Amino acid sequence: MELSVQLAPKHKSGLLLANPVMTAAGTFGYGTEYSHMFDIQRLGAIVCKGTTLEPKEGNPQPRLAETASGLLNSIGLQNIGVKALIKEKAPLWTSWRVPVIVNIAGETVDDYAQLANELDGVAGISGIEVNISCPNVKAGGAEFGTNPESAARVTTAVKSATSLPILVKLTPNTSDIVKIATAVAEAGADAISLINTLKGMVIDINERRPLLGSKTGGLSGPAIKPIALAMVYEVAGAIELPTIGCGGITTASDAIEFIMAGASAIQVGTASFTNPHAPLDILEGIERFMEKEGIKDIAEIIGVARR
Ligand SMILES: Cc1cc2nc3c(=O)[nH]c(=O)nc-3n(C[C@H](O)[C@H](O)[C@H](O)COP(=O)(O)O)c2cc1C
């Protein structure tokens, strides 16, 4: 059974995954946190926590709220910063079979370029995912992802600052995600991942004010799956690049829906909080489905629902 997928066909060294199951940024730490729970080397790729130039404390508490079939978070990119990532985390990844992709976020175009430049050539890092879609930071983040010109500017800057393959991660908090995807593709991205969280709010009626410390947060989990799926379907139909589907994927059948919509790979996010084995369970479920349906190569079903 052939499960491997190429996420950067236009890149000189490519980004070949042994299978299409990835973890989503910010929900799987640096991979190390989960390595004692299951064999994470079996996954297609690990996307690590969002990383900024300087370490970040994140937003005021509370930063998490459960909602109907979803999770609202306003972590605000709490992380150790790129220098500590390179010094403390990357060396651990060098012996891993599973490729590690570093998710980056900046407040300016220059921040993104500097991050990409620092990560260039670091052993243990196989690619960069550019987060132009975080709804939980005051400056930068999603601002870049809601405008085709600025999304393209960030993409071009990152592309020229690194020789690593780059994935650009889009926000659903925009009126025309296809326009953004097209601009990013034309600017030289190797692949596009979507979606990040949707902006949301919970109000504490006893306190009579928003529950989260930063008032609004990003909604993730099963509640957003149909939205993410429709966006993946649209974007995959509009661009030639591989797309990576993300948003509410909890079971293998969820993952297969995204693949049939056109995603070459998928990312598992919030599901890992309730079931830390979710990414592996999903991979094994995809394998069982392929066996049952007589599918020899995953490529046979990528985008099949579009034909
Ligand atoms: C607690 C939490 C932290 C996240 N941190 C990041 C991040 O640092 N960078 C990023 O691009 N996306 C981040 N995300 C978004 C996820 O990677 C994913 O795009 C989103 O949650 C939708 O997928 P899901 O419904 O499977 O969780 C975060 C999500 C959650 C729930």
- Active-site residues, by number, are 134
Three-class SS state of 161? helix
3-state helix, strand, coil in the chain (%, to 5): 35, 20, 40
- This prediction has a pTM of 0.97
Three-class SS state of 128? strand
pLDDT for position 133: 81
List alpha helices for 169-224, DSSP H. 177-186
Q: Whose CA is nearest to atom 10 of ligand 1?
A: 25
By most ligand atoms within 8 Å of CB, the mutation choice from 51, 63, 197, 257 for ligand 1 is 197
20 neighbors 3 (Cβ within 8 angstroms):
yes
Give the binding-site residues of ligand 1, using a 6 Å CB cut-off: 24-27, 49-50, 71, 73, 75, 77, 103, 131, 134, 169, 196-197, 220-221, 224, 246-249, 268-271
Atom from ligand 1 closest to the CA of residue 195? 19
pLDDT tens for the 307 residues of the chain, in order: 999 999 999 999 999 999 999 999 999 999 999 999 999 999 999 999 999 999 999 999 999 999 999 999 999 999 999 999 999 999 999 999 999 999 999 999 999 999 999 999 999 999 999 999 866 666 666 679 999 999 999 999 999 999 999 999 999 999 999 999 999 999 999 999 999 999 999 999 999 999 999 999 999 999 999 999 999 999 999 999 999 999 999 999 999 999 999 999 999 999 999 999 999 999 999 999 999 999 999 999 999 999 8
**Residue 18 CA to ligand 1 centre (angstroms):** 23
Q: Whose CA is nearest to atom 5 of ligand 1?
A: 26
Distance from C-alpha of 48 to C-alpha of 249, rounded to nearest angstrom: 18
| Helical (H) or strand (E) element with 56 | none
Burial of 10 (0-12, 13-18, 19+ CB in 10 A): middle
Determine how many CB atoms are found less than 10 A away from the CB of residue 55.
14
Report CA torsion sign: 223, 191, 102, 21: positive
**Residue 153 CA to ligand 1 centre (angstroms):** 23
**Residue 156 CA to ligand 1 centre (angstroms):** 24
**Residue 100 CA to ligand 1 centre (angstroms):** 16
| Structural Rg of the chain based on CA atoms | 18
Q: How far apart are the first and last CA of the chain?
A: 23
**Residue 291 CA to ligand 1 centre (angstroms):** 31
Residues 6 or more apart in contact with residue 149 via CB below 8 angstroms? 183
Cis omega (within 30 of 0) on the bond before 62? yes
Q: Whose CA is nearest to atom 11 of ligand 1?
A: 131
